[in-house]
Chain A
Amino acid sequence: MIVAERKPLEALVKMLEGQGKVLAVGCGTCVTVCFAGGRQEVATLAATLRMKRSIDGAPLEVSEAMVQRQCEHEYIDALEEQVKKHDAILSLGCGVGVQTLAERFPGVRVLPALNTLFMGLPTEQGVWEERCQGCGNCVLDKTGGICPVSRCAKQLFNGPCGGSKNGKCEVDATIDCAWHRIWERAEALGTVEALMQVEPPKDWSSSRDGGQRRLVREDLRAPQAKEST
């Protein structure tokens, strides 16, 4: 899932300076599951903002809305009438949700209430960890299902750096050293021999380094779209 957390209240208050009527929109998918932008979080944030602005002597009207998925136009079309009645949209979706709203409703400001953090999973109650950076060329077959791109602070492909201690990363002692885990898993699976080979430089052009990425599936496109491009 995409993991996000709410921006600090002060940052949101500053962002909303000068706004009078705001539509706070949550998302029912990833950010609901990670307790950042679901129905409950929308209600809490809306109430907090109303109270804060009221105390500050500049009342803010905050309406609340939920969509199942902010990242698809079909799901947000239903907001159209509500959007017209507001000065701005405060999205509690991930960065994709914010931009989808901005694309669909170009006449209104769309503001992010969350910081989108990473693609990951909950590892225990209240803890989430990154697992994928979408590099566009998966290497998990070579690394025992443990990703050195997203889980090694230096994105190493040929073993750990000199800073691995007691199985932890030099950057943060609460984070596992990815290569320690890769090695342990290879030992357990009897595949250490494969880690002895020099892994050549990665082609990063499929990653963010190649510019904004776009996927085109001709087999799925509508015939008119194919003709126009």
Chain B
Amino acid sequence: MNAPAEPALKSPGNLERALADGRFAVTAELGPPRGCDAAAVRKKAQILKGWVHAANVTDNQAAVVRMSSLATGLIMIAEGLEPIMQMTCRDRNRIAMQSDLLGAAAHGVKNLLCLTGDHQSLGDHPGAKNVHDLDSVQMVAMVRAMGEGHFQSGADIPGGGPQFFIGAAENPFADPAAMRPYRLRKKAQAGANFIQTQLVYDLPRFRAFMKKVVELGAHKEVAILAGVGPLKSPGMARHLREKVPGMSIPPELDARLAEAAKGIDPADKPALSRAWREEGKRICVELIREIREIEGVAGVHIIAIEWEQAVPEIVQAAGLSLEDAR
């Protein structure tokens, strides 16, 4: 009897292989430095290496100028950490996008996350002109077409196109809520292979979102990785709730952080911070355990902004292994 033919993988990176094998995917995030310090990237890469299938490398997130995601991703590859290169529609037209994608593929970048991008008015160069030649759905479709050997113009790519494992984002907590599952499905139809969601703290809302996604059958077309992240303090919870668009954080979590620091001298900032961070990690681990049980979830994307050390601890505490089945 012949063994069943293995489905052809597009770009056999760790992430694609893990998802194809039916393993529970674990990704994290590596924020490039605001300067040209390669050592800072190497340090972060070494912290994450071995604990995640791949790590997102952000593209001028929050519209603040940083080392480019492509350049940072190349340092990650040299360190043995697989990058998921993020690219936004804010700063590049279709010419620059395709050019960078050819270069990224030539250097061995295997995963790409297609994003709209935070508006420049929220960043450090609010007077900048934005591009938005394509939107994120159109970008996904363009990258798929490139994989099939065609530029966005329709012309053939000499020697064949770049093979990316294509990702996109969805925010289950942004408005209009009813449109979000359909928008996720639209990205799948455009050619996305995986979706990473905005940070999940509000489980009831996330469950309702996933229920609709499963109803639509979109979870079978695209692997969905739920965003999770440890809170560092009640102040961070408040900041995310009030300042970051499309975040839903139940007030109970603020209360849990406050409770964890009970009895600590408010003047002892390091002790307070330690207590909050420990509780933040515990909350994160609990969320991962709950999320893992939700139908249609194929993995988690752990976002620990400027706190990469938390990722290995959370992965261990949540009992995640890179070899685990979904």
Contact = CB atoms under 8 A, between A and B. Distances in A.
A153 interface: yes
B246 A184 contact: no
A199 interface: yes
Given A154-B89, A180-B175, A183-B178, A163 B132 contact: no
A163 B119 contact: yes
Interface stretch (A17-25, A89-97, A137-145, A165-173): A165-173
Contacts of B176: 160, 164, 167, 179-180, 183-184
Given A170-B245, A171-B121, A160 B94 contact: no
Contacts of A196: 182, 185-186
Interface in A169-191: 170-171, 177, 179-180, 183-184, 187
B46 interface: no
B134 A171 contact: no
Interface in B134-169: 134-138, 141-142, 152, 169
B175 A162 contact: no
A170 B246 CA distance: 9
A141 B219 CA distance: 31
A198 B186 contact: yes
A154 B190 CA distance: 19
B127 to A, nearest CB: 14
A211 to B, nearest CB: 15
A164 to B, nearest CB: 5
Contacts of A167: 175-176
A140 to B, nearest CB: 17
Contact of A164 (B89, B170, B175): B175
A155 B119 CA distance: 11
A192 B89 CA distance: 25
A153 B246 contact: no
Given A158-B135, A164-B246, A201 B130 contact: no
B230 interface: no
User: Which size bracket describes the interface of B in this complex?
Assistant: 35 or more
A156 interface: yes
Contacts of A183: 176, 178-179
A170 B122 contact: yes
A200 B138 contact: yes
A156 B174 contact: no
A201 B246 contact: no
Contacts, number: 104
Contacts of A201: 94, 133-134, 138, 142, 152
B199 to A, nearest CB: 11
A158 B175 contact: no
Given A154-B89, A154-B90, A199-B138, A159 B133 contact: no
A154 B245 contact: no
B40 to A, nearest CB: 27
A135 B169 CA distance: 28
A159 B119 CA distance: 16
A161 interface: yes
Contact of B137 (A159, A179, A204): A159
B152 to A, nearest CB: 7
B174 A164 contact: yes
B189 interface: yes
Given A163-B245, A165-B245, A170-B245, A155 B179 contact: no
Contacts of A200: 138, 141
B186 A158 contact: yes
Interface string B92-114: 00100000000000000000000
A154 B130 contact: yes
B27 interface: no
A154 B116 contact: yes
A162 B152 contact: no
Nearest to B183: A159
13 contacts: A154-B90, A154-B130, A154-B132, A156-B116, A156-B135, A158-B137, A164-B245, A177-B175, A179-B179, A183-B179, A196-B186, A201-B134, A201-B138
Interface of A: 153-167, 170-171, 177, 179-180, 183-184, 187, 192, 195-196, 198-201, 204
Given A154-B132, A159-B183, 15 more contacts: A154-B90, A154-B117, A159-B179, A162-B170, A162-B171, A163-B245, A164-B176, A165-B246, A167-B175, A170-B119, A170-B246, A192-B182, A198-B137, A199-B137, A200-B138
- Pairs A-B, 3 closest by C-beta atoms: A162-B171, A163-B245, A158-B137
